[in-house]
């Protein structure tokens, strides 16, 4: 973390206790941001594959695990928190047929939508699909997100610059 910014790597989930911005860079992966309207705090996940079904091998690299875990983390933040206080944004899920025969991005988007809908969490914004990668910066206290679209993900797209 540097200057109130946190870089979320693939396969991770972050629900900070203090106000800051979470950023991540995604291609076919998806980032789900959940915001609690009542206490004005949010969190983000970043997963690369839609689902894991094998027991004992569950990690946040998979959308079904990462999104359910993000919801549980948000619910445990304050005792009075309810799912009805949540709203979500979904980013990513790009597909470039030059790089892959399989559209994993579409499956990632679908699993995020499915889990959010099953939990009755409104999806208020989406920037998904297409061929471009994205850098997403999510302000956890205002529920504002900025998206930079790029043709190719470069080292300079990561913050802090590596």
pLDDT digits (tens, 9 = 90+) for 113-129: 999 999 999 999 999 99
Residue 68 is classified by DSSP as: H
CATH number reported for the structural domain that contains residue 129 in this entry: 3.30.1330.200
Q: How distant, in Å, are the alpha carbons of 1, 24, 32 from that of 68?
A: 25, 19, 11
Cβ neighbours of 70 (radius 10 Å): 26
- Distance, in Å, from the CA atom of 56 to the CA atom of 155, rounded to the nearest integer, reads 33
Position 156 pLDDT exceeds 80? no
In a domain, 9, yes or no: yes
The closest alpha carbon to 6, from 38, 31, 29, belongs to: 31
Burial class (CB in 10 A: 0-12, 13-18, 19+), 137: middle
For position 2, what pLDDT does the model report?
53
pLDDT digits (tens, 9 = 90+) for 64-103: 999 999 999 999 987 778 999 999 999 999 998 887 889 9
For position 17, what pLDDT does the model report?
87
Position 159 pLDDT exceeds 70? no
Residue 53 is part of which domain span?
5-151
Higher-confidence position of 64 and 162 = 64
In a domain, 88, yes or no: yes
In a domain, 160, yes or no: no
What is the number of structural domains in the chain? 1
In a domain, 159, yes or no: no
- Distance, in Å, from the CA atom of 80 to the CA atom of 103, rounded to the nearest integer, reads 40
pLDDT digits (tens, 9 = 90+) for 5-42: 999 999 999 999 889 999 999 999 999 999 999 999 99
In a domain, 157, yes or no: no
């Amino acid at each position: 973390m540097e200057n109130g910014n946190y870089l979320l790597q693939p396969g991770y989930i972050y629900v900070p206790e203090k106000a800051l911005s979470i950023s991540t860079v995604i291609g076919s992966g998806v980032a789900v941001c959940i915001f609690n309207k009542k206490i004005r705090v949010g969190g983000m996940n970043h997963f690369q594959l839609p689902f894991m079904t094998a027991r004992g091998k569950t990690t946040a690299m998979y959308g079904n695990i990462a999104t359910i875990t993000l919801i549980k983390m948000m619910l445990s933040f304050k005792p009075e928190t309810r799912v009805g206080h949540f709203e979500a944004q979904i980013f990513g899920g790009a597909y470039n047929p030059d790089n892959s025969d399989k559209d994993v991005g579409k499956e990632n988007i679908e699993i995020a939508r499915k889990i959010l809908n099953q939990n009755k969490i409104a999806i208020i914004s989406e920037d998904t699909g297409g061929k471009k990668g994205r850098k997403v910066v999510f302000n956890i206290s205002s529920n504002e997100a900025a998206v930079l679209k790029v043709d190719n993900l470069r080292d300079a797209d990561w913050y802090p610059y590596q």
